[in-house]
Structure 1
Amino acid sequence: MGFSVIAVPVVIGVVACLLAPETAQKMRTGITPLVYFIANPLLMVTVVADTDVRAVAGIYTPLALALALISAAVFTLYGVLARRSRAQIAVGAMSASYANAGNMGVPIALYVVGSTAPVVAVLLAQLLFLAPLYITVFGLIRGAESGETSARRRAGTIVRSVLNPITLGVVVGAVLSLARWRPPEMLWEPVTMIGQSSIPLMLLAFGIALAQQRPFAERSAIGDDVVGIFCKLAVMPVAAWVLGGPVFGLSGAELLGVVAMGALPTAQNVFIFAAHHGMPTTTAKDITFATSVLSLPAVMLAAWLLGA
């Protein structure tokens, strides 16, 4: 079900682009800022507010953050050695470490562990730490490319990047969670409805992008794609098994849940973030597509190896 929820909207986007390419391009151009500034921040408010932040911020969130940073570091090392541009390294590192926890993580966590704690921890690590970090890096790179050299301008770029709409949505949701308060239903229900539109809209935009440029069509990006896929589906789950067991003391279903979260595919958010900030999107698109296809076998292999 988690995979079909991803696949069907993407296919609809592809079909729309094939039937009406010019209209589909206009739709994609409009979807990106709509999701970035309105739908996704409201989704973060509702998701985090409905989560017990205190309960999941202990062992799982630091582990999820460590796994993402390890995978990003491996890709960054490759990018430096391969002499890729700063923009290519930044987008590749995010593609190799930012998981599709919202769609795929919830059903997998429920089936594997019987609890959403591991996936909520991934969401918190990504939304509170990784998203602001990558958006700040994107902003600094874009500023440097446009000639921003003064310390004041760089500081302004950092502040604007950290105070991005998605992070602000997470902060508002965390405050509501900690206060254990919900706005009136007549306000909360429309906010939830708009927030829930974020994921299908992102998937439609991703499908349109796939139709406009086939995956792995740019040969110069193949090396980056392969390394990013390897980091996402091999480095992260193996690191989860090593750190989750000996270091954090997890075992059984809990350890399998962490490993499964490590094997989740790359989130479509990476494509949206990169496109919005003017970063190269080819690697993000290719890695997201490939990991979405290969993630299920990776999760099943992890379950078999760990004796589930």
Structure 2
Amino acid sequence: MAGVFTGFATIGIIIALGVLLAQLRVLDERGQRTLSTLAFYVASPALLITMMQDSDLGSVFSGNLVAVAGGVLVAGTLVVTVETLRRRGLGATVVATLCGCYANAGNLGLPIAAYVLGDPVLVAPTLLLQMLVLQPLALVLLDADASTTRLSFWTVVRRPLTNPITVASLIGVLLSVTGLHLPGPVAAPLELVGGMAVPSMLIAYGVALRLGPLPGRGVPALDLATVVATKQVVQPVAAYVIGRFVLGLDAEALLAVTVLSALPTAQNVFVVAQRYQRAELLARDVIFVSTLVTVPAVMLVVVLLT
């Protein structure tokens, strides 16, 4: 338990550093975007490759992936049902569903997996599920809602393969399964660059908290509360129930799937909502509120399961 709280303290201090740097105007919005871009396109892929190549992915993916997917399915089905009963359009329903089940596994999942759970590889099932299944499916539906032309097969297939984190995860899986190892001249620079991933993401997150706009009015409180509760309560509870009573996961795996399912809604959901001009205010406010309640929610999970 002491190690868990030390991990949270480490994350909090680095986020606070980002807030301080923004307050002192050392970093502005442009600097925050640069840090986030560097972490997303370079450092995080390097970290995933180097960590996954030596990991026992069989134990991580076997039950964890099913439990995480089960939590996503339960939460997503609930949001779809509610939005359908309210007669929302296809685009708004897709965005609301992403808000209710698409976790911030990249920016917060990696640090929490590394410092709280002790292994960044534990976030891999969530990342791959979202990048290879949820995101492509959501974009296809949104494209169908916004376009009168049929999407080509290759357009659908190509989407997840243009995401650097997805590509890096697949490379890491391939290296782990085949038992191959990167040569020293390649592995050493990757490890050095990968070391930037977690601090870069957390500092950028702190800057975003300080400079980002607060949510405004325009979203009914009931709509906001329903989606946030689905993301922060229904999804982790469903993952826990499936992991414990259906799959019989051990305590460590059960903690991992529950904590990662309790992560807030990912920021890129708002980017998607803006791109398609569907449920933008809902996406913005759900991300903000779910992010605020994540630390107490995750700490509650840790206290209850350890």
Task: Report TM bin, short chain.
Answer: 0.7 to 0.9
Residues 208-241 of structure 1: CA deviation (Å, up to 9, x unaligned): 2222335555562754553344234422343234
1:186 is the counterpart of 2:185: yes
User: Quick one: distance in 2 between partners of 1:70 and 1:168?
Assistant: 27
Q: 1:68 aligns with which of 66, 69, 72?
A: 72
Contact 1:13 1:205 in 2 (8 A): yes
1:119-268 pair list within 5 angstroms: 120=121, 122-137=122-137, 139-140=139-140, 143=143, 147=147, 149-152=149-152, 155-163=153-161, 164-213=163-212, 216-218=215-217, 220=219, 222-223=221-222, 225-250=224-249, 254-255=250-251, 257-259=253-255, 261-264=257-260, 265-266=262-263
Q: Does the residue aligned with 1:249 lie in a helix, a strand or coil? A: coil
Partner of 1:50: 54
What displacement does 1:92 show? 0.4
Q: Which runs of 5+ in 2 are unaligned?
A: 1-5
Contact 1:96 1:228 in 2 (8 A): no
Q: Does the residue aligned with 1:151 lie in a helix, a strand or coil? A: coil
Q: 1:97 to 1:209 in 2, by over 3 A?
A: closer
Contact 1:234 1:263 in 2 (8 A): no
Contact 2:132 2:160 in 1 (8 A): yes
Structure 1 window deviating more from structure 2 (56-65 vs 176-185): it is 56-65
What displacement does 1:127 show? 2.5
1:16 is the counterpart of 2:28: no
Partner of 1:296: 299
User: Quick one: distance in 2 between partners of 1:54 and 1:257?
Assistant: 12
Contact 1:70 1:236 in 2 (8 A): yes
User: Quick one: distance in 2 between partners of 1:275 and 1:295?
Assistant: 25
1:20-39 pair list within 5 angstroms: 20=25, 24-39=28-43
Partner of 2:3: none
What displacement does 1:182 show? 1.8
User: Quick one: distance in 1 between partners of 2:9 and 2:199?
Assistant: 12
User: Quick one: distance in 1 between partners of 2:59 and 2:53?
Assistant: 13
Q: Does the residue aligned with 2:219 lie in a helix, a strand or coil? A: helix
Partner of 1:89: 96
What displacement does 1:183 show? 1.6
User: Quick one: distance in 2 between partners of 1:34 and 1:109?
Assistant: 24
What displacement does 1:291 show? 0.9
The percentage of counterpart residues that share the same residue type is 21
Q: 1:197 to 1:35 in 2, by over 3 A?
A: same
Q: Does the residue aligned with 2:149 lie in a helix, a strand or coil? A: coil
What displacement does 1:170 show? 0.8
TM-score (norm 1): 0.76
User: Quick one: distance in 1 between partners of 2:165 and 2:58?
Assistant: 20
User: Quick one: distance in 1 between partners of 2:254 and 2:220?
Assistant: 30
Q: Does the residue aligned with 2:185 lie in a helix, a strand or coil? A: helix
What displacement does 1:19 show? 2.9
Contact 1:17 1:208 in 2 (8 A): yes
Q: Does the residue aligned with 1:183 lie in a helix, a strand or coil? A: coil
Question: What residue identity is the alignment partner of 1:262?
Answer: T
Q: 1:28 to 1:241 in 2, by over 3 A?
A: closer
Contact 2:240 2:257 in 1 (8 A): no
What displacement does 1:248 show? 1.9
User: Quick one: distance in 2 between partners of 1:231 and 1:102?
Assistant: 22
What displacement does 1:24 show? 0.8
Partner of 1:104: 112
Contact 2:104 2:264 in 1 (8 A): no
User: Quick one: distance in 2 between partners of 1:288 and 1:295?
Assistant: 11
